[in-house]
């Protein structure tokens, strides 16, 4: 039973240092480590697993021990390169030599043979399917185990009982099979997730391109029509000015659509500065007031001075997109109320309207690039861009709405101290 306990402890070391730690690195390596650092950490982890296996062996006779070190060398070598194979083999031999005993010679013979085998098959192993990797890995690991037993019996005249031989080989086989299977299953899962994410991104890009193409084509067609009309017919100067004014409006509309699309695609703000939110809100209100007056909408405010970090131009675009949506949601007039308050290191901006409101289904789809409640007049790009800007500025947006009662937009930003 002492031999079983020692070998099971070796299995635990291999699972922790050659499976669990590499999986953690695979999950977090993009955020924390570059590939070179990751490889060195994996090599160090495998080395630690080998050392612990040697330190907790099953002693056959004084100075001659057995453990699952060759399973660790096999797995680490198959997934590493030539450098890793040489490193792990050299470490195994060096550490076993440091401990001393008659088993040092056996370690040298087994290690050198296994090293050349691993170097010879490493490329084939990496290109193989999961099933073939399981077959190759377990076969090499078993061959290393059998070779270790053979060297012990033939060269060093060590005797083993049948139970130990069976236990040693079955644990060698099962441990190698388990580690390779779980690692490969994880890699397959990661690959599938990456493909799903890529497919989702491509679908969004496709919808964006389709929506933008459709919406940009409309104003360009209007402009082209007016220009053709002015070219082939004689129109009065008054009509020419009217046509030109309408053409400019349509070009501005196309520009807004493209700008919203570019805002969504932009990864981060380029001009992050201290922003006085009271000043920016007043500026946005001044811009939106003519549109509000035309639609018989009163704008009420309750603002206080507070500073956040971000891009003023992007913030203006975000505020204008949201307030414009609120105004368009009140075709029969009403009140647009903007309020700010701060607390617990956060600024809250509340933008409320008395408009048509949204259903739960419409609210859940708010911000989708190809979804709008405005029918043919909207693209969904404006709200999508506003949500993207808020996220880029480390903010959070939540929305509540009731049909025929209105909509409330709650925007949270982390505050900063006023510049001295």
- Chain segment 59-102, per-residue pLDDT in tens: 877 778 889 999 999 999 999 889 999 999 999 999 999 998 88
Question: Element (H or E) spanning 416, and its range?
Answer: strand 406-416
First to last CA, the chain: 73
Residue 376 has pLDDT above 50, yes or no: no
The torsion defined by the Cα of 53, 59, 63 and 69, in degrees rounded to 10, comes to -20
pLDDT category at 31 given cuts 50, 70, 90 is low
Range 350-372 average pLDDT = 80
Architecture in CATH for domain 273-416? 2-Layer Sandwich (3.30)
Q: How far, in Å, CA of 71 to CA of 172, rounded?
A: 6
Which of 126-140, 246-260, 372-386 has the least mean pLDDT? Answer: 372-386
Residue 170 has pLDDT above 90, yes or no: yes
* Residue of 246, 340, 344 whose CA lies nearest to 284: 340
| Class of domain 2-197 (CATH, top level) | mainly alpha
Residue 281 has pLDDT above 60, yes or no: yes
Q: Phi, psi (5° rounding) for residue 202?
A: -65, -35
pTM above 0.85, yes or no: no
Percent of residues, the chain, with pLDDT higher than 90 = 39
Domain boundaries, the chain: 2-197, 215-265, 273-416
Fold adopted by 215-265: Helix Hairpins (1.10.287)
Q: How far, in Å, CA of 284 to CA of 7, rounded?
A: 71
Residue 379 has pLDDT above 60, yes or no: no
Residue 339 has pLDDT above 60, yes or no: yes
Tell me if 154 sits within 8 A of 112, measured CB to CB: no
Tell me if 2 sits within 8 A of 163, measured CB to CB: no
Range 201-219 average pLDDT = 65
Domains 2-197 and 215-265 share a fold: no
pLDDT digit string, tens, across residues 117-157: 999 999 999 999 999 999 999 999 999 999 999 988 888 78
* Residue of 59, 26, 62 whose CA lies nearest to 45: 26
Report the chain's mean pLDDT, rounded to a whole number.
84
pLDDT at 133: 94
* Residue of 80, 73, 84 whose CA lies nearest to 113: 73
pLDDT category at 13 given cuts 50, 70, 90 is very high
Residue 375 has pLDDT above 50, yes or no: no
* Max mean pLDDT range (217-231, 252-266, 329-343): 329-343
Q: How many Cα atoms sit within 13 Å of 68 on the Cβ side?
A: 32
pLDDT at 201: 60
Question: Element (H or E) spanning 300, and its range?
Answer: strand 297-302
pLDDT at 420: 42
3-state DSSP call for residue 69? helix
């Amino acid at each position: 039973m002492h031999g079983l306990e020692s070998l099971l402890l070796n299995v635990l070391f291999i699972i922790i240092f050659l499976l669990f730690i590499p999986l953690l690195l695979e999950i977090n390596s993009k955020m924390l480590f570059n590939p070179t650092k990751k490889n060195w950490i994996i090599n160090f982890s495998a080395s630690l697993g080998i050392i612990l296996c040697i330190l907790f062996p099953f002693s056959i006779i004084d100075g001659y021990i057995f453990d699952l070190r060759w399973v660790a060398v096999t797995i680490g070598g198959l997934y590493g390169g030539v450098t890793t194979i040489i490193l792990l083999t050299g470490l195994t031999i060096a550490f076993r030599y440091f401990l001393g005993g008659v088993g040092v010679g056996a370690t040298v013979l087994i290690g050198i043979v296994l090293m050349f085998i691993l170097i010879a098959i490493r490329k084939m192993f990496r290109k193989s399917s999961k099933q073939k990797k399981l077959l190759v890995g377990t076969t090499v690991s078993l061959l290393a185990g059998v070779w270790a037993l053979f060297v012990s019996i033939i060269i060093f005249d060590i005797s083993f009982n049948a139970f130990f031989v069976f236990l040693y080989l079955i644990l060698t086989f099962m441990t190698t099979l388990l580690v390779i299977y779980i690692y490969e299953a994880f890699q397959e899962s990661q690959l599938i997730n990456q493909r799903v994410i890529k497919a989702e991104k491509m679908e969004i890009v496709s919808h964006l391109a389709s929506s933008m193409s459709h919406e940009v084509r409309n104003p360009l067609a209007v402009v082209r029509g007016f220009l053709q009309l002015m070219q082939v017919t004689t129109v009065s100067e008054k009509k020419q000015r009217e046509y030109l004014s309408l053409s400019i409006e349509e070009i501005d509309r196309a520009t807004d659509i493209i700008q919203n699309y570019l805002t969504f695609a932009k990864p981060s703000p380029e001009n992050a500065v201290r922003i006085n939110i009271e000043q920016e809100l007043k500026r946005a209100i001044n811009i939106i007031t003519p549109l509000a007056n035309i639609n018989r909408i009163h704008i009420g405010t309750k603002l206080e001075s507070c500073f956040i970090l971000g891009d003023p131009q992007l913030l203006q675009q975000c505020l204008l997109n949201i307030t414009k949506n609120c105004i368009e949601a009140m075709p029969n007039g009403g009140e647009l109320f903007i309020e700010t308050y701060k607390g617990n290191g956060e600024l809250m901006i509340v933008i409320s309207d008395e408009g048509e409101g949204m259903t739960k289904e419409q609210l859940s789809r708010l911000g989708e690039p190809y979804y709008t409640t405005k029918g043919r007049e909207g693209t969904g790009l404006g709200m999508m861009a506003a949500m993207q800007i808020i996220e880029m500025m480390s903010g959070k947006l939540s929305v509540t709405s009731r049909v025929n009662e209105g909509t409330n937009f709650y925007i949270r930003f982390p505050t900063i101290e006023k510049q001295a």
